A and B are shown apart, each in its own frame.
Chain A
Amino acid sequence: MDVHLLKQLQRDQLAHMLESEPGKKDFVIDPCFTKLLDRIAGATFLKDHGVDKIYKLDPSQKSLAGTDIRFYFVRPAIPTIKLIANHINAEKSSHGLRKYKIIMVPRKLHVCEKILESEGVYGSISIEDFNLELVTLDNDILSLELPDFLRNFYLDGDQTWLHTVASSIVHLENLYGNIPNVYCLGKGAQMTFDLINLLSDKPREESVEKGDNQNIGHLFIIDRDIDFVTPLCAPVTYEALLDEIYGIECGIIDLTNPDSTSNTPGKLLLTAENEIFQMIRNRHFSYVFAYISDKAKELKLVHDKKDDLKSVKDMRHFVSNDLRSLKQQQKLLAQHIGACEYIMSTKSKGSFEEFTHVEHCLLQGSDTKECINFIEECLYKQTNWLTVLRLICLLSLTEDGIQSKDYKSLRTKFLHSHGFDLMPSWFNLKKLGILTEYELPQVNKPLGKMASITRRGQFKSLSKRLNLVPKVSENVDLRTPNDMSYVFSGAYTPLACKLVDLILSRESLISLDDVLKLIPGGVKCDMRLKPASKARGGHSIPSSPAAKVVLVYFLGGCTFSEIAALRYLARREGYKITIATTAIITGNSFVESVMERKPI
C-alpha cells in the first residue's frame, strides 16, 4: 500500500482544478489549510499553475485586491462562507467583472449554498468540490485533518464528518482494492461501516469475495470514545512529547523555543525521510539523548576526517560529498538537541515526577485518596488548568466515576481556582462520559439504578482482562521495548492498540467475546478472508501478502503514543500497519476541543 499514490492523485486533481480557469488567479485559503496545502503542493506548484497571489482568509479583511479570477479554498463552514459572501458583496461595486470560484473541501454542502443564496451572491459565483480527504502525512500516517470531528460527532451528534470518513475509506478501497476483514470497535465505527456499504458503487461482498486487487487485508475502525484514557495520559515517546510541547501540524513542527537560549529556530518536516528523527521518534524520551550523543560523536569522527585528508583529490571528494550531508546532519542534530533541552526544562519545571507517579497510581487504581489530595493541592497552587483537568478526567475514567463527595468538592474547587466560565465545559465532559459522578449504592434503592452499577468497573475489568496495566512494570524494557506499554513507561497499554494486537493474532473474535462485551458501543466485524489454515472444504486460500497489511482508522483522532505503539506492534509481528485518523491529537488539544468557551 503506497500512500504516496494518494498524494500524487491529489496534486493532479489540484492542478486540474486550477487550470480549469485559464489566466492568472488569486488563491484565498482557509487558515486551517496552510500547512496542509504545503504538504500536498507548495507555493511553487500553485504558481506554476497560474496562481498569482495566495491569501489567507482573514475575518478582519472586508475585501481583497487582486486579479479578475479568485479561488476560495475552504472548509464548508457557515462563518467562512458568510465571510466570503461579505467579500463578494463589498467588491461588487468596484470589481463587477471578477470571477469567483468557491472550492469546498472535501465537498460542497447544501447549507453553504443556502447561505450564499440568502446573501445574494449565489448568481455571481461557481462552486466546486475538491475531494481532499486523507492527507498523506508520512509513510504510515494518513489524516483527514479534521480536529473538529471529536466535538462534532461525540458531543454534538453531528454526523457530517462521519460521511467524509466513510467516503475516504471508499476511495481508499477504490485505489487499493476492497478490504476483506473489517472490525468496527465502537458505535461510530459501526455507523461508518454501514455508510461505506451504502456509498460503495458495487455491493462490497461480491467484489471482496472475488478477491482481486487486494492490497489491504484488515481494516480497524476505532471510536475514540472507547478509550479516552490514552489521550489523557502524559506522553513519554519523543514524537508524542514534541507534539505535546511544541505542537506538530501536518507533520511540520516549529522549533523556535519561546524561552530557550538555543539559537536553532526554524520549521522542520518530521517524516520518515528525516533520518535522525526516524531513529528517535518512537523512543522513550529517556533514551533519546543517548542516541543523539552517539550520533554527535559519530559526526565528529567524520568531521575529524578532514584533518587526515592527504591529497587534493580526497579534499575535493570530502567537500563535494561528505561536507554537505555533514552540515545538514549537524543542523538537524542541533535542532533535536535544542528540542530535547526545552522538553527537559519544561518537564522539570512542574513537579513532573509527582504527576507521573499520580498518573500511574490512577491507572493501577491504587492510593486513590492520595491522588485526590494531590489534585486538590494542585488546584490550590493554581497549576495549569488543563493539566489538572486532565488528571481529574483520568481519575473519573479509571475509577469509572468519581465518588459523589469528592466529585462535588473537586468541581467547586476547580471552578474557584479557574473560573466559573469553565462550568459549561465541565458539563460537556460529563456528557461525553469523561467526568462522571458515582453515587455509592444505597441499600434500598430501586432496581433502576442497577444499570449504573454494572457500568462501574468497566475500565477496571477491561484493564484486568486485557492486562492493560502490566503488573510488574519493571519488566518493561524502555530502551529496547518489549511491550506496547513502553509508550507510557510501562504503566498502560493503549486499549485500541491492544485490541488490534489481540484480534490480529487470534484472527477471530470468538474467544474474545466476553472482553469485547465491555467495549462501549460494542464490536462488529465483517470477515471475508478466512485464515488459511482454518478454511473449510479443503481448498485453503493461500494467505496473500495483503493479509499482513493493516489499516487502523481512528475516529476522533489518535495520539502519537498510540502510533508509536502500533509501530512497535508492526515491527514485532511483521505487519505493515498504516494509521488513518481524523486528526492527530494530544491530551491538551483533546480536552480543549470539547471546552465550551476557551478561556482567554
Chain B
Amino acid sequence: MATADWNPLGNVYYRNVELYQMDWNGLLELNQYMIAAAPYGGPIALMKDDKKTGRVSTNVKPIINVYNAAGKPLSQLRWNSGNVVHLGWSNTEELLCIQDNGVILVYDIALNFKRTFGMGQEAKEMKILDWKVFSSFQGTGIAVMTTSYRIYLINNVDDPRVRKLAEVPDLNSAPSSWTILNLDRQSRALVAKDAQLFLVDHGGQYQEQFPELASTVTAFIEMAVSFNNKLLAMFTDKGVIWIGSSDLKKVYCEFNTKASQRPQQLAWSGVGAVVALWDKLCIVVGPEKDWIKYNFESFVYLVQEEDGLRIIGNELHQFLQKVPDVTEQIFKIGSMEPGAMLYEASKEFSRRSQKADEYIRMIKDKLDVAVDQCIQAAGHEIEPSKQKALLRAASFGKCFLTDYRPEAFVDMCQMLRVLNQVRQFSVGIPLTYTQLNHLSVPVLIDRLVLRKLFCLAIRICHYLKIPDAEGASRILAHWACYKVQQKHEDEEQLARSISQKLLDAPGVSFSEIASQALEQGRKQLAIKLLDYEPKASEQVPLLLKMDQNNTALSKAVDSGDTDLVYTVLLTMKDKISNMGEFFMAIRQMPIAYSLYIQYCRQQNPKLVEDLYYQEDNFLAEGNCKVVSSYSEEMFEDRIRKLEAAITCYQKAKMEFASKQTEDQIKLLKIQRKLEDESNKTYIDMSLHDTMYKLTQNGNHKMTEQLRKDFKVPDKRFWLLRMEALAESSDWTELERFSKSKKPPVGMEAFVDVCMKYYNRTEAMKYVNRVTPDQKVKCLVKVGNLKEAADSALESRNEDSLNIVLSKAIQSNNKQLIETIRDYKIRLNTKK
C-alpha cells in the first residue's frame, strides 16, 4: 500500500522514507561524535567529542572522518591544529573547522587544507563561547559569540570580512539562546536574554522584539530558523514551542510539549512542520497544533532540507517530508483526481482488464492534467519501481492525447535517471527532484567533480547533451588537475594521457593544469603540458616562472605579440645577471633582438652601441656614435665621438663613411676657428652653406681654401659664388667674377641669378654676352619680349619665335603679338 507510511498532520500527510542503510552501522556510535552534515544530500563529517564520550581528554589528537550520505567513508584526517569546537559545511561543500580561538580552517571534501581565517582579535583573545554556521545572501556565513557575549559575523567564508554586531543591553551572562536571521539582505542576530528578545545588527543598532505570546515565558532556550529563512521556531523553558514568521510579526501557534527538558535538536522539516528531538523520541508539530510522534531505536541527528528533514542514525538514513500534493492526489485512498484514475487505468491495463478503458473514459476531458500529475508524482518518488509505475501511467495516458508536448515527460525521465544515479549508495547524494531544481545541474556536476567522480560527471553531461565547452571540458580539466597530483605516475605517460583526452575538448586551459603541476613540484610535466596550450599569453608567464627563458622567448616570438616578447626580455634581463649571457640568449632571435634594441634606444642609448659592438655590426655602431655626437655639448667631446665613429667605419670597411667623417672633423675644426675669428656661427653648417656664408662676408680667401680642401667641383663653386654675391648685391664682384675665366655654368646662369634678385639692369649686361642660341631665352627671362622677338627673327628660329609669342599672349601685349605674327610671316615667306 502506497499510503502505509503516511501519517496525517492536520490536513496533510507526512511520510518518513528510508534513504540508506548506513554503511557505518556497527562501526561507530553517533552519540559520541561531533557531527556536521551538509544540506542537499551533502557529506557528513564526524569527529570524536570527548565531552560526549565522557572520557578524560587525552593528548591524542582527534580524527576527522568524512562520509557520504550513505555512511561510506570518503576521507580521514588526524587533526593537528588547535581545539576544534564545531564543524560545519559551506555551500561549496568545504569543511569549516571552527576553533575555540575563533580561527576557522577550511578543508575540501578530501580533507586537503585550503585556507584559514580568523574572527578578529577579540575572539582570539577571549575565546569563543558559541557559534552558528548559517546561509547568508552571499553564501555561507559564520557567527561566533565571544566569552564577553559579543557577536562577530562574516557573511561569506570565501570573502571573510568580520563585522561586529551591536551589543545587547545589560547582557551579563550567556544568553539563553540566539540565532542568525537573514532579513532584508542583511544578517542580524536574534538574541534571547531570558524572556527578552533583541535583534542586533552590524550597524550598531539593537531593537527589542515583542512577539505575540499567549503563554508566560521565563526564557527562550532554543531557536530554529527554517531553510528558507522565513519561519522561526522557539522553545521556551516551559516546554512550549512558539511557531511564527522570522520577522516575529506573525504567530502560527504555540504548542505545549509539556517537556521540561531542553530538546536535543529543534529543526524545521521544509516549511511545514517543526521537529523537536529528545534522545530517541521526536515530535513533529504542524502550524495548526497537530502533531505526530516518532520513536527511534538509537541516537539520531537532524539535517534541515529545503523540502524536508533528513534523519541520520546509526543504522538508517531517513527522510521526513510532507507528502507532496500531487502524490497525495494520486495515492490518497478514494481519490477521484484524474491522476489517480489514470494510475488505476494503467494498472488495470497491465492486467489486461477492460476496466482500464472505463477509467480512461471517466477522465477523458482531463487526461492532460492526469498525465502531468503522474509525471510530477514520479519525480517525488525515491523508489525506482514507483517512479516506473507512475511514468508508465503517464506514458499510457499520453497515447490518448494527440497534441501533448513530450518535453515534460522526457525531461522527467532524464532527471530521474540522473537522480537515481547520484542517489546510488556509492555516490551517496540523496537529492530530491525539488532540491535538484534548486541546486541546478551544473552545481551537481561540480559536486561530483569534488568527489572525483569524473566519469559519472562526464556521462551525465553527455546524457543531458550539455555542450562540451560548459560541461565535459571543464570536468576533464579538473580531472587533469587531479591527475597531475598523483605523483606515482610516470610523467611522460601522464602528459600523453592528459593531452589525448583534452586536446579535442574545447576551452580547456592547459596552462591552468600546468600551473597545478608546477605547484606539485612537477616542472618537467608542467613544461610538457604547456606545450599543448594554444594561447601564448597563457604559456609565457608560466614558462618564465619555471625559468624556461628560451622556450618562453621563442613562444613569445611565435605569437607575434611583441608585448609578450618584452615581458620575457625584461624578466630575463632581471634574472640573468651576466649581460653577455643575456645577449647571447637573445641574439638567436632576430625579432627579439631588434625589439630589445628599440627598447634600449629609448632607455639607454649607450647600450645600443655595446650591442652593435657585440654583434660586430660596426656600421650601425658608427652611425650611433655619429648621431650621439650631436648631443655632446663640448666641442672636444664631439670630435672624440666622431673619431671613434671613424674607427668603427674603418672596421666595417666603409671607406666612404670614414672619409666623410674625417672631412666633417676637418670642417668642424675650420668652422670652430672661423667662429673664434669672426664671432659668427658656422658650426653645423654644411660645406656649401659655410662657403656661401664666407662669400657673403667677403672672406674669399677662406672660400678658396675650402674649395681646394674639399675638392669642390667648379660648377658648384661658380653657382654658389654667383648666388652669394647676387644675394648680397655685390654686383661689381659678380661682374669681375664673370670675367675671371670662362664660366663653366654658361652666361645664362648669370642672367638667372640677377633676375632672381630682381636686378634687370645687371641681367641685361650678361644677356649680351650669352651665346646666340640662348639669347632669345634669356631675353624672355629678363622680360624684354620685343628684343627677344627681334633676336629670334635674326636667328631665323621659328620655335623661339613661338615661345616669345606664347609669352606675349600671356602678358596680353596686343601690339607685340601683331609684330611677332608679322615676323612669322616674314620668316616663312623668306623661306
> Is B626 at the interface (CB under 8 A from chain A)?
yes
Contact call A596/B688, Cβ cutoff below 8 A: no
Instruction: Across the interface, name the chain A residue whose C-beta is closest to B753.
Output: A381
The 8 closest A-B pairs by CB, nearest first: A157-B594, A419-B686, A420-B664, A160-B562, A78-B602, A424-B623, A380-B716, A416-B687
- Chain A, range 159-177, C-beta contacts under 8 Å to B: 159-160, 162-163, 166
Chain A residues near B598 (CB, 8 Å)? 152, 156, 158
Instruction: Report the Cα distance A152→B661, complex, angstroms.
Output: 27
Known pairs A78-B602, A427-B619; list 5 more (Cβ under 8 Å): A79-B602, A160-B563, A162-B562, A381-B723, A418-B688
Return chain B residues, CB-CB under 8 Å to A191: 560
Chain A CB within 8 A of B567 CB: yes
CA distance A194 to B559 in the complex (A): 9
Chain B residues proximal to chain A, CB less than 8 Å? 559-564, 566-567, 570, 590-591, 594-595, 597-599, 602-603, 619, 623, 626-627, 630, 656-657, 660-661, 663-664, 667, 684-689, 692, 710, 712-713, 715-716, 719-720, 723
* Chain B residues positioned under 8 Å from A162 (CB to CB): 560, 562
Interface centre among B598, B686, B687 (most CB of A within 10 A): B686
- A sample of 16 cross-chain residue pairs with beta-carbon separation below 8 angstroms, ordered by A number, consists of A111-B566, A114-B566, A114-B570, A159-B595, A160-B562, A191-B560, A377-B719, A380-B716, A380-B720, A382-B692, A413-B716, A419-B684, A420-B663, A423-B657, A424-B627, A596-B627
CB of A158 within 8 A of CB of B660, answer no
Decide: A194 near B560, CB < 8 A? Known: A78-B602, A111-B599.
yes
Cβ of A198 and Cβ of B559 under 8 Å apart?
Answer: yes
Asked whether A158 lies within 8 Å of B562 as measured between CB atoms, the reply is yes
Bound CA span A96–B713, Å? 67
Cβ-based interface call for A357 (8 A)? no
Min Cβ gap B608→A in Å is 11
List of A residues within 8 angstroms of B663 by Cβ: 420
CA–CA, A418 and B660, complex, Å: 13
Q: Mark A380-404, 1 if CB is under 8 A from B, else 0.
A: 1110000000000000000000000
- The complex places the Cα of A411 from the Cα of B667 at a distance, in Å, of 17
Find the A residue at minimum CB distance from B569: A111
Q: Which of A554-584 contact B (CB under 8 A)?
A: none
List, in ascending order, chain B residues with CB within 8 A of A423's CB: 623, 626, 657, 660-661
Residues of A within 8 A of B719 (CB): 377, 380-381
Query: Which A residue's beta carbon lies closest to that of B667?
Result: A420
Residue of B whose beta carbon sits closest to that of A385: B686
Where the two chains meet, the residues of A that have a C-beta atom closer than 8 Å to any C-beta of B are 77-79, 107, 109-111, 114, 152, 156-160, 162-163, 166, 191, 194-195, 198, 376-377, 379-382, 408, 411-413, 415-421, 423-424, 427, 596-597
Question: By DSSP majority rule, is chain B's interface helix, strand, loop, or mixed?
Answer: helix
A408-B656 contact in complex given A198-B560, A419-B684, C-beta closer than 8 Å:
yes
Chain B residue, CB-CB nearest to A152: B598
A380 to B595, CA, bound (A): 40
Who on chain A is nearest to B564 by CB?
A110
Q: Which residue of A lies closest to B752 (CB)?
A: A381
* Contact yes or no, A382 B688, CB < 8 A: yes
Which chain A residues lie closer than 8 Å to B712 at the CB level?
A: 416
Chain A residues lying within 8 Å of B660, measured Cβ to Cβ, are 412, 415, 420, 423
Known: A79-B602, A417-B688. A163 touches B561 (CB 8 A): yes
Contact partners of B688 in chain A: CB under 8 A: 382, 416-418
Q: How far is the CB of B243 from chain A (nearest CB, A)?
A: 48
Bound-complex Cα distance A541 to B598 (A): 49
User: From A423, which residue of chain B is reached at the shortest CB distance?
Assistant: B660
Q: Report the minimum CB–CB distance from B453 to chain A (whole Å).
A: 32
Q: Which residue of A lies closest to B601 (CB)?
A: A156
Contacts of B599 in A (CB 8 A): 78, 111
Residue of B nearest to A157 (CB): B594
Cβ–Cβ contact B627 & A109, under 8 A? no
Known contacts being A158-B595, A163-B561, A418-B686, is A78 close to B603, with CB within 8 Å? yes
Smallest CB–CB gap between A83 and chain B, Å? 12
B residues near A152, Cβ cutoff 8 Å: 598
Q: Which residue of A376, A408, A423 has the most chain B CB atoms within 10 A of its CB atom?
A: A423
CA distance A351 to B688 in the complex (A): 21
> A110 to B570, Cβ gap below 8 A?
yes
Whole-angstrom distance from the CB of B272 to the nearest CB of chain A?
A: 48
Which listed residue (A77, A380, A597) contacts B630, Cβ 8 A? Answer: A597
Is the CB–CB distance between A166 and B657 below 8 Å? no
Closest chain B CB from A122 CB (angstroms):
14
**Contact across chains for B720 and A110 when beta carbons are under 8 A apart:** no
In the complex, are the beta carbons of A166 and B623 less than 8 A apart?
no
Q: In the bound complex, how far is the Cα of B598 from the Cα of A77, in angstroms?
A: 11
| Nearest CB of A to B255, in Å | 55
Tell me, rounded to whole Å, the shortest Cβ–Cβ distance linking A147 to chain B. Answer: 16
Nearest-Cβ distance from residue A97 to partner chain B, whole angstroms:
24
Q: Which residues of A contact B590 (CB under 8 A)?
A: 157
B645 to chain A minimum Cβ distance, whole angstroms, is 10
Is A416 a contact partner of B686 (Cβ separation < 8 A)? Answer: yes
